[in-house]
Structure 1
């Protein structure tokens, strides 16, 4: 049945390659290469003429962008205005205008700045900070926005330094807000900006740069110093808090011991609560039992969203449903209403015997084809089912999207392997379109084998859905063959690959993982040897067939190492097979709780998506309701494990 389904799916897909080469492609690529090298003269020669190539705007954009960036040169204002007018509404126009706005701000040409700034659709943080410095009508709005990100803006563009300082100099923020920003920067390991922000303090609370450097550079040594034992004023106490925070990132128990030895009546109650909040957060990330006790000592302090989340996760691991509910109730409303915490709030209410309230919580989270959307649906006693499929894309709808300049540019960019530009054009083009246009874009992408873009567009629909496109199953025969050969659950394999590569065979991660199953070169070589393949060749990772063979063999290996448990194995495939073992408990744990308390954000998100994807593919392949709750099952307790090979990559 599954193979017949595959044939039907492929027939619907009608796969074709991205349109063939264009006569002007060489010129486009030559201009791209010149832009990459910074060859201004070469770019100018290529841009001196024009063509009707769909990517011609890029040949004109690259030299203009370079000239805007060269502050020592006069900007070609007429050429910039001409480009913006001829390409109005496009992503390239938005990009060039953003660059132009920043230069105008840098040169304090405020009249021209305001005229261009008002036309930006999505001004970035740096552009907003120039607006905050301007004397024009956008300054007040930009300054209010800057106030709103005082604690959350961690990577600060240089243009933001002046307006941030102005918030202090004008009395909008005082010393308390400076210390709050200092704390948040230290918490997030932004030590350079943290050193800078203390220079904004009023003279009465000033702290020497040498003291701050000592606390941040070698916290253990600083905490043993006289400065830490006898802190001088607010600044002295805050540097001790910073050193404790810094040390807790590497050894939370040592940091706690140091703090106990330094705590004294000199510290305010809020400062003590802050330290325990930091220690509790790090203990929760390290999955230490002390986390819950330390969180209890931090209740009076304002916590970040991440700290609050880990307070609930620590309570989940401890099985303390009263603390789960209390932790969620203490979250800000926007965080509390996220599906994750709505579901766990329902579970806590259920455990407290408040069945009716629990059902209301589950109803709020149920519906979407996400980890918690599916679990909440099942908690209501219902089987998850796909929504009614939208009407098929019509020939007229497909023709309209195919003729759109944005779509033609995206296809041409993919053809030339200019993926970064293609992804940005795609996102820009679809940012405000309706569901029917999204479905037509998904169909166009699918017909051109751009499976990642097809999934991306289908994922974004709001009311009309086509889950057969959201959960495409290309290369079905290859995956089915290898799943059978390795005795793997095919739906789970598809769920994993959808998350790994979105079925893009040329996908390459930032760390070098390749192909459909994102196999690392060292892993591919190792598993090939383990499978008895001789004369390993790096090209095996870029070939669809051999990539799936090697990836499936490695997935089988990870599953064997990790108790045949799909939750553990998904985590192991992403983070290496050693870590998921350390994340277990001394007793069996509900699979959903294990997934939610994975300490690496990327892996936690990955596992939840893989498991939810697997349920959707199982529903597609089997044509019957399935259960994510059952699939997650129980994660076994830590214990005797299959030993990792000495040469395990």
Structure 2
């Protein structure tokens, strides 16, 4: 279906205004989008009247007002809310407005507007709201609100005004029952610095010891120099600053940090501070795939002092020791995690494996219950749990067909239409955000499952494959395999895969993870097309394949992208002797890294994948392999085994050919 026809059909069905016109001014909408990115306020205001009546008018109006929100009057904002009631753009502007009111400490207007905020997914806005509630209630404020402030503050990737302000107020209280203390601030500082977020760490130090911020800046710049200099701060603060310096040092020089901790600073720190530093040292060793990682973790007095991330790396390290997994250490690490972390399918599965390895009827029964709690076809560990229960992976029964009424409701949904229109016009970011709002945030708890399936089908029918897949994936009771695992370009993908000896299910599993079948997808690092191929990699592969006259701009041509992507995948797969797990890691992170990651003991490929040091690549490998198993079941019509695809991973067999070091 060509673009003009798509836009015409969408404009005819969208119900943005009482009298919807044929699409007009698409070029003006795109021009306004560019002006918004350039913060050209004058141009936005001048152009807005020209796009009245366009299907994407709410976006144009949002850009115009958002660009000058800092100088807009309360009445102008309220007029916008009145003109576009119930739309994503109305609530998006309300989110922005609430943030501005919070920054201005305008609690009266904030309190009046917050109850109308539907999205409710902005942690900073929520922290402002919790602070307002606390200011109104005082000592009578429920403890759960303080706990929510603490949780949101710790979850923020970097510092923000709302959660920092709320935490500062609660920690600084001198009357009533203190719900947050200085220890919370120090823990926040340690967590942030461990995660290499020095601004967030400095903000936490500012709350609890503002006089120590210059010292924090020194230790952040050079922890070694700081640890050898005299620290002129109070005793409690001094110990905390030393712990922060050791954490910072451990991130770049863990051996030095361990030596300093053992030979100088350890006795001066509290048990929690010492354990935290050992946890960081152990995590760094585990991420380097060092066999010494568990030795560092063994020096921790209480696993409960460690963060979930440190405990996860302890469990991973215990899975890859040379003489087989240390199942007791795996179980201890998982048991010390927070309730939310323990509930993740990753750790449910590995705890079950640990219990199963321990033996005995009681432990086996516990393991069985854990497998049963996650077993399904929905993901990597869910599929592995299913196989532990003696079942293979096959597509579930399809749900009842959508009725004409269900399809029509989706077809007439204004937000879905605006989203698809924006995506078709090239405004993918705006379209995706509006789509997600329409299918999730616009309704408390999200849409009912039948409506989600109808929305997903609306996207599938228009070949907006990423929205089709992501929307359908949110259903729990109903599972539409055609929506979740579509096979666009089937003839081209299967023909090309079989010509070069690749499993087409593997190719589909990789494309689904790489691009969600978005042909014009482009990553932040320049990868392009269905198979997200980098230009340099494409040129190298084209030369290997004997493709003459290849240029990088051909990567967005479907047939060329498939030919280059599959050709590269085949070369990488052969280089790793047919290991789908290692080839997927190589496709994502380059072949040099998995060549190093494979060195060590021969282990279950699931344990190897879980130990991949890069979070993105670790998740990528697991998702590609789970996708592949499901696509294989669909293509073959037969139940499949993920475990058989995984096999084991270990050092290269010397009898095998040397790896192709030229592969980029």
The TM-score with structure 1 as length reference comes to 0.91
Q: Which residue of 2 aligns with 1:394?
A: 403
Q: Which residue of 2 aligns with 1:11?
A: none
1:378 aligns with 2:376: no
1:622 aligns with 2:662: no
1:366 aligns with 2:368: no
8 Å CA contact retained: 1:24, 1:53: yes
Q: Which residue of 2 aligns with 1:322?
A: 328
Which segments of 5 or more consecutive residues in structure 1 lack a partner in the other structure? Answer: 1-14
Aligned-partner Cα distance in 2 for 1:436–1:66: 38
Q: What is the aligned counterpart of 1:310 among 309, 313, 316?
A: 313
* Residues 108 and 399 of structure 1: CA distance in aligned 2, closer, same or farther (over 3 Å): same
* Residues 34 and 16 of structure 1: CA distance in aligned 2, closer, same or farther (over 3 Å): closer
Deviation at 1:540, TM superposition (A): 1.8
Q: How does 1:290-305 map to 2 (within 5 A)?
A: 290-300=292-302, 301-305=304-308
Q: Which residue of 1 aligns with 2:468?
A: 454
* Residues 440 and 149 of structure 1: CA distance in aligned 2, closer, same or farther (over 3 Å): closer
8 Å CA contact retained: 1:165, 1:200: yes
1:19 aligns with 2:10: no
Instruction: Select between 428-437 and 40-49 the one with higher mean Cα deviation.
Output: 40-49
Q: Which residue of 1 aligns with 2:256?
A: 254
Q: Which residue of 1 aligns with 2:116?
A: 119
Deviation at 1:387, TM superposition (A): 1.9
Deviation at 1:375, TM superposition (A): 0.6
* Residues 200 and 101 of structure 1: CA distance in aligned 2, closer, same or farther (over 3 Å): closer
Deviation at 1:471, TM superposition (A): 0.5
Q: What is the aligned counterpart of 1:549 among 563, 568, 578?
A: 563
Q: How does 1:101-500 map to 2 (within 5 A)?
A: 101-123=98-120, 124-134=122-132, 144-171=147-174, 172=178, 173-201=180-208, 208-223=212-227, 225-227=228-230, 233-300=235-302, 301-318=304-321, 319-353=325-359, 354-431=363-440, 432-500=446-514
8 Å CA contact retained: 1:561, 1:644: yes
Deviation at 1:638, TM superposition (A): 4.6
- The number of aligned residues is 626
* Residues 253 and 472 of structure 1: CA distance in aligned 2, closer, same or farther (over 3 Å): same
8 Å CA contact retained: 2:36, 2:44: yes
* Residues 643 and 433 of structure 1: CA distance in aligned 2, closer, same or farther (over 3 Å): same
* Residues 159 and 343 of structure 1: CA distance in aligned 2, closer, same or farther (over 3 Å): closer
8 Å CA contact retained: 2:271, 2:301: no
8 Å CA contact retained: 1:276, 1:297: yes
8 Å CA contact retained: 2:164, 2:203: no
Deviations 1:275-327 (A, max 9, x none): 21111111111111121122122142521111111111111112111221222
8 Å CA contact retained: 2:330, 2:350: yes
Instruction: Select between 168-177 and 183-192 the one with higher mean Cα deviation.
Output: 168-177
Q: Which residue of 1 aligns with 2:76?
A: 79
Deviations 1:321-353 (A, max 9, x none): 122122222222222122111111111111111
Secondary structure in 2 matching 1:610: helix
Aligned-partner Cα distance in 2 for 1:316–1:528: 40
Instruction: Select between 395-404 and 125-134 the one with higher mean Cα deviation.
Output: 125-134
Aligned-partner Cα distance in 2 for 1:575–1:568: 10
* Residues 434 and 191 of structure 1: CA distance in aligned 2, closer, same or farther (over 3 Å): same
Deviation at 1:402, TM superposition (A): 0.9
Deviation at 1:24, TM superposition (A): 2.9
* Residues 360 and 51 of structure 1: CA distance in aligned 2, closer, same or farther (over 3 Å): same
Q: Which residue of 1 aligns with 2:33?
A: 32
Aligned-partner Cα distance in 2 for 1:311–1:541: 42
Deviation at 1:208, TM superposition (A): 4.0
Aligned-partner Cα distance in 2 for 1:250–1:271: 19
Deviations 1:52-101 (A, max 9, x none): 322112222222112213xxx3x233332222123222110101111222
8 Å CA contact retained: 2:395, 2:634: no
Secondary structure in 1 matching 2:230: helix
Deviation at 1:112, TM superposition (A): 2.4
* Residues 49 and 362 of structure 1: CA distance in aligned 2, closer, same or farther (over 3 Å): same
Aligned-partner Cα distance in 1 for 2:73–2:421: 28
Aligned-partner Cα distance in 1 for 2:344–2:254: 29
Deviations 1:569-624 (A, max 9, x none): 01110111011121124331111111111111111111110000011001000001
8 Å CA contact retained: 2:216, 2:241: yes
Deviation at 1:643, TM superposition (A): 5.1
Deviation at 1:144, TM superposition (A): 5.0
Q: Which residue of 1 aligns with 2:11?
A: none
Deviations 1:6-51 (A, max 9, x none): xxxxxxxxx7767145333233223223323323232222223563
Deviation at 1:231, TM superposition (A): 9.7
* Residues 186 and 392 of structure 1: CA distance in aligned 2, closer, same or farther (over 3 Å): same
Aligned-partner Cα distance in 1 for 2:78–2:534: 47
8 Å CA contact retained: 2:29, 2:51: no
Aligned-residue RMSD, C-alpha: 2.4
Deviation at 1:226, TM superposition (A): 4.2
8 Å CA contact retained: 2:377, 2:395: no
Deviation at 1:128, TM superposition (A): 2.7
Deviation at 1:633, TM superposition (A): 0.8
Which segments of 5 or more consecutive residues in structure 2 lack a partner in the other structure? Answer: 9-22, 441-445
8 Å CA contact retained: 1:442, 1:457: yes
Deviation at 1:565, TM superposition (A): 0.7
Aligned-partner Cα distance in 2 for 1:180–1:282: 19
Deviation at 1:207, TM superposition (A): 5.9
Q: Which residue of 2 aligns with 1:540?
A: 554
Deviations 1:359-404 (A, max 9, x none): 1111111124211111111101122332210112233322221111
Deviations 1:497-545 (A, max 9, x none): 1000111111111111110000011111111122222333112211110
* Residues 320 and 472 of structure 1: CA distance in aligned 2, closer, same or farther (over 3 Å): same
Secondary structure in 1 matching 2:609: helix
Aligned-partner Cα distance in 2 for 1:470–1:264: 53
Secondary structure in 2 matching 1:492: helix
Secondary structure in 1 matching 2:159: coil
